[in-house]
Structure 1
């Protein structure tokens, strides 16, 4: 029997990749490194961090050694194009009490960006005897595009999974069947609406709607009729209202605000749904220097988890946030 764990289940480590000067972070590299440091420091008291540092990034390695000293930090010299571990990292499933790591293809979000090194990270981790039980899959799939309740239900959307540069030969019905077989889920809840301006991922579900327990979905809501997102996010909200649990009951829906964040006059896809759940019932929440909305998001999630807010204003300049730069692992060697 196969199951896809929920993010709140006990983890062994968080996989990350450190920003370097040959990536898009170069323009504000010092700020990016400081944000990554803050995230790593928040995780280390709870579990291990496996950190990929590019072999040519000597400055980054010196920075880490000068700021961190923890037996929970494992630094590996692995080439990377970028830092979005959520999408190139392995997806874990349980099979007969054993964790299997699935290595799906990663093609830079539908051939938008170079991914030659990132696509090899999981296999390199296996070769370096960090990951056990790695199985290569003949499908393009990013971790940010799916969310699991740990009890056989998967949440995703058609905007991303049916994008023509990922798996063009599959219909929705065929993908539904294939994902159920590979991931061991019993049912897939497909959304058809919702997006964030500036998003490169074709509407990853982890920026829009997330399980926070088997009966509760946190989602991005927009109440401003003058905001370009109003129509699509309200259509998504109506879809969420119609979803049912396995027991046939409506989900409890937890709205999170939509912040307006700009950089160089560009609207950025800032999202409070891009949180990371780690061990000890702790939630790392991205915030964006929008005090009223940051506090509103914190207060919405506090009844469920210990919330640690982390300023991700720098991360969102590259159109991703806290969940995007992390991937939980449920077993390591």
Structure 2
């Protein structure tokens, strides 16, 4: 007699896939900054950046902002009203968080075209970027709280993964890095092939492109969203360092060469556009992971981190040419990146599907 061990359906089995970031959004999810360990001297200036982001986004799509308590809700409401934000598009949601990294601990939304439950999401295990920060264990539960709020189907996974470690073109290709996903502090029990299968099953992709290492100072172990991003289904921007003596030069050149040799889901070469690096941004003697690639593509707008660097205008110009139908806006992030992340790290898009209000 043969015993059949039936596995649970994965997103791909049910027609789900992760859409590209430039696909229409229903909303952007953020969390209000509150952690003084992350920003011991910068917190108020960082909050000003959040107000700017929310004001900009709310003019174009809904914004859901997580806050910890009633007092914070009142304070944030006053700040946003003073900034002239479109409050009819802003909802403050009382879900406590330790920190703001919604890209990594928040839901990874997937969609499907067939009738019934067109929107769902993947809920990965978040272990504080390889167990570096035990205080962040609480934030592993944030995605489940959002699921209860939205009443969406959830695919729970037993793999450690952060949203900043994956980048898709919405057509079947995913970019990621060996430094992060093959790191022994994430899923030491899984082989490269097994991790690829999880990505294919959960994101609805058929092609995985592996890059090597990320930028210096990135405590996430080389997230893809600091080094290479899709800007359309066939085009990738890849961060490069112009100075050969810079410690980022060699790993970024290797990533560029890998992309040149890569193929997408249909076997075609990618169009590759290089994006400059800012000069070294130093805080308390350590280099920060400052990168123009940590931009966020929203409805009608692209928010790009800037660092008071001579390369800021160059980076904005490159992205402006790549997003001709969107307004490309620089957001000053020298204070934000002291917390070791920037705009893409703190945002999470919710796709617009069907007639969902």
TM-score range, shorter chain: over 0.9
Tell me, yes or no, if structure 1 residue 258 matches structure 2 residue 277: yes
1:241 aligned partner: 260
Cα separation, partners in 2 of 1:274 and 1:131, compared to 1, 3 Å? farther
Please point out which of 65, 80, 86 is paired with 1:67.
80
- Residues in 2 aligned to 1:32 and 1:329: alpha-carbon distance in whole angstroms: 23
TM-score (norm 1): 0.94
- Residues in 2 aligned to 1:7 and 1:123: alpha-carbon distance in whole angstroms: 22
**Residues 18 and 60, structure 1, Cα contact 8 Å, conserved in 2:** no
Secondary structure at the counterpart of residue 304 of structure 2:
strand
Map of 1:1-333 to 2, 5 A cutoff? Answer: 1-21=15-35, 23-55=37-69, 58-59=71-72, 61-68=74-81, 70-97=87-114, 98-113=118-133, 114-127=135-148, 129-191=149-211, 193-259=212-278, 260-280=280-300, 282-290=301-309, 292-305=310-323, 306-330=327-351
Deviation for aligned residue 1:28: 2.1
Per-residue deviation, residues 248-286 of structure 1 (Å, max 9, x unmatched): 332111111111211223211100000000012x21111
Bigger CA radius of gyration: 2
Secondary structure at the counterpart of residue 159 of structure 1:
helix
- Residues in 1 aligned to 2:276 and 2:151: alpha-carbon distance in whole angstroms: 37
- Residues in 2 aligned to 1:234 and 1:85: alpha-carbon distance in whole angstroms: 29
- Residues in 2 aligned to 1:207 and 1:226: alpha-carbon distance in whole angstroms: 20
**Residues 23 and 82, structure 1, Cα contact 8 Å, conserved in 2:** no
Secondary structure at the counterpart of residue 218 of structure 2:
coil
Kindly report the root-mean-square deviation, in angstroms, between the aligned alpha carbons of the 2 structures: 1.7
Secondary structure at the counterpart of residue 303 of structure 1:
helix
Deviation for aligned residue 1:207: 0.4
TM-score (norm 2): 0.88
- Residues in 1 aligned to 2:25 and 2:154: alpha-carbon distance in whole angstroms: 17
Per-residue deviation, residues 80-108 of structure 1 (Å, max 9, x unmatched): 11100000110111234411111111111
Which runs of 5 or more structure 1 residues have no equivalent in the other structure?
A: none
**Residues 215 and 251, structure 1, Cα contact 8 Å, conserved in 2:** yes
- Residues in 2 aligned to 1:101 and 1:248: alpha-carbon distance in whole angstroms: 28
Per-residue deviation, residues 282-329 of structure 1 (Å, max 9, x unmatched): 211111111x20000011011222211111111100110110010001
Q: Tell me whether 178-187 or 138-147 shows the greater mean CA deviation.
A: 178-187
